[in-house]
A = this chain, B = another copy of it.
């Protein structure tokens, strides 16, 4: 019933970290020092550090050392907004925006517009046939300069043919795609549904967000399907957020405003 040695070493280091003896950002002793301290081989010490790494407690930097990870101040996104407001996309539009309640600066790239064939998962959610032409509008978002989310909105190609030509321009649509589609096509967004899942990041996502290449930090994937007045899906927005720097809020009924200071742990 006794634990293997590398786990005991990991436990010991873990207690030092969680008790605050080793604060975030602090450097651990080197592998050779730990090897002498615990009377184990260097490989066993490395097994202990690897364990702490997958637990997300430390990170190693070649040529420098092993460091206690510092927690990221999470950004909180509210998913329940007025369905007729600009709340089609998650988060604000392009350009710089200041979130005053959380005191953060949000920036977005201009949308990258592509014409694609609908993949199965997109087609199903938009109730169109697989392989049909769709418009894809992709944006990258940053908060305080660090990568925060990747967002892609899909619209049926039909919308452009019917006159909503701004959908295929690589510019921000002001004051919002919801009101633009309402006036251009008489499509009124009466509501939307979000589906939230967590999965391992793709390689490109891991690179963009600077996540470790192994999948130990997951990403939220949120599928937002917006519906028009005939209850048909009119837009699908897929947004990917790393789980290590994002939290979400859902308000139901009549609730007081959110106070960020009540959140931490």
Task: Say if the beta carbon of A198 comes within 8 Å of chain B.
Answer: yes
With contact pairs A196-B247, A197-B74, A220-B198 given, residues A254 and B54 touching in the complex (Cβ less than 8 Å): no
User: How many angstroms from the CA of A198 to the CA of B253 in the assembled complex?
Assistant: 24
Which of B74, B218, B256 contacts A231, CB < 8 Å? B256
Contact between B216 and A80 (Cβ–Cβ < 8 Å)? Answer: no
Q: Are A192 and B55 in contact (CB under 8 A)?
A: no
8 Å CB contact of A80 from B125, B197, B252: B252
**In the complex, what residues of B have CB within 8 A of residue A87's CB?**
252
Number of copies: 2
Q: Tell me whether B252 and A83 are in contact (CB under 8 A).
A: yes
Q: Does A195 contact B (CB under 8 A)?
A: yes
Residue in B74, B192, B243 whose beta carbon sits within 8 Å of that of A255 in the complex:
B192
Q: Does A190 contact B (CB under 8 A)?
A: yes
What B residues does A56 contact at CB under 8 A?
A: 200, 215
**Chain A, range 190-225, C-beta contacts under 8 Å to B:** 190-198, 200, 214-216, 218, 220
Show 15 A/B contacts (Cβ-Cβ < 8 Å), sorted by A.
Answer: A54-B54, A54-B215, A55-B200, A56-B200, A83-B252, A83-B253, A189-B253, A191-B252, A193-B252, A193-B258, A194-B249, A195-B247, A196-B196, A231-B254, A231-B255
